[in-house]
């Protein structure tokens, strides 16, 4: 394994360990010692990549929006795909769970920031394109809808997490989208959107398959 590849893997292992610890204990209660133990790397290796608990939290937040999804003819389907794949991944991906918990921590986020502006930026881009293509209703303000989606999604996933450990998060996000989209999408677009509960799982299977075939999906 080349030296650089090894460094990338170590950095990723440390980030995933940090995410697991932040997701479980929250930022304040988490310690670098916990993260070291979970990552199974040396102190030197960890500090080579991250010089503090704060920079570990920043590192976790930076990778929140890294998942690349297939482009769609309807841009609003990309918005749905993003929401449904994040909902699906939340259950098994400590990075996303940590991102949600860190972003909602009033004390901690004063130090390391929040993932919400990243999500708003990504969604504003796709919603803006949908708007230019005429997919949305006339009154829609892309940036406003982006913030509405990020904030309401976060409320719904938090509710699911605290009430039943995320067991119904995809159902709840699907219900949220089914109630929001009629005031966002034009009717002809609305009827073509796939907002089913298992949409996230299907899109991620598609991504895995095209990666296995050596195709690189184009970023949304």
Round to whole Å and give the CA distance between 168 and 118: 25
CB of 135 to its own copies, least distance (A): 16
Neighbours of 77 (CB within 10 A): 24
Nearer to its own copies, 26 or 128 (CB): 26
CB of 216 to its own copies, least distance (A): 34
Q: Of residues 38-77, which lie at the interface with its own copies (CB under 8 A)? A: none
The DSSP secondary structure of 134-162, one letter per residue, reads: T-B-TT--HHHHHHHHHHHHHHHHHHHHH
Nearer to its own copies, 64 or 160 (CB): 160
The DSSP secondary structure of 19-80, one letter per residue, reads: HHHHHHHHHHH--HHHHHHHHT--HHHHHHH-SSHHHHHHHHHHTTT-------SSHHHHHH
CB of 148 to its own copies, least distance (A): 6
Q: Of residues 90-109, which lie at the interface with its own copies (CB under 8 A)? A: 101, 103-104, 106-107, 109
**Residue 80 — φ and ψ, nearest 5°?**
-60, -45
SS3 11: helix
Round to whole Å and give the CA distance between 11 and 125: 29
Q: Kindly state the DSSP code that residue 218 receives in the 8-state scheme.
A: P
**Residue 183 — φ and ψ, nearest 5°?**
-100, 10
Residue in 132, 163, 188, 210 binding its own copies, rule: CB under 8 A: 163
Round to whole Å and give the CA distance between 166 and 184: 26
Nearer to its own copies, 49 or 161 (CB): 161
With CB under 8 A, what is the number of residues at the site for its own copies?
35
Stretch that binds its own copies, among 56-64, 79-87, 157-165, 196-204 (CB under 8 A): 157-165
Nearer to its own copies, 18 or 177 (CB): 177
Q: Of residues 115-154, which lie at the interface with its own copies (CB under 8 A)? A: 116, 144-145, 147-148, 150-154
CB of 73 to its own copies, least distance (A): 24
**Residue 195 — φ and ψ, nearest 5°?**
-120, 25
Nearer to its own copies, 183 or 209 (CB): 183
Site residues for its own copies per CB under 8 A = 26, 101, 103-104, 106-107, 109, 114, 116, 144-145, 147-148, 150-156, 158-163, 172, 175-176, 178-180, 182-184
């Amino acid at each position: 394994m080349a030296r650089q590849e090894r460094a990338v893997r170590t950095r990723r292992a440390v980030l995933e360990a940090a995410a697991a610890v932040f997701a479980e204990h929250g930022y304040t209660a988490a310690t670098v010692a916990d993260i070291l133990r979970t990552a199974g790397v040396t102190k030197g290796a960890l500090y080579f990549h991250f010089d503090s608990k704060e920079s570990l939290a920043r590192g976790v937040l930076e990778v929140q929006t890294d998942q690349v999804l297939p482009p769609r003819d309807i841009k609003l389907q990309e918005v749905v795909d993003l929401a449904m794949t994040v909902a699906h991944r939340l259950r098994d991906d400590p990075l996303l769970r940590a991102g949600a918990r860190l972003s909602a921590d009033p004390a901690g986020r004063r130090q390391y920031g929040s993932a919400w502006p990243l999500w708003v930026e990504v969604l504003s881009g796709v919603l803006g394109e949908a708007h230019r293509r005429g997919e949305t209703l006339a009154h829609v303000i892309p940036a406003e809808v982006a913030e509405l989606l990020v904030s309401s999604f976060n409320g719904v996933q938090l509710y699911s997490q605290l009430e039943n450990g995320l067991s119904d998060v995809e159902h709840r996000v699907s219900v949220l989208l089914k109630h929001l989209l009629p005031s966002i999408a034009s009717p002809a677009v609305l009827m073509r959107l796939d907002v089913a509960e298992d949409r996230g799982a299907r899109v991620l299977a598609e991504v895995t398959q095209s990666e296995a075939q050596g195709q690189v999906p184009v970023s949304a």
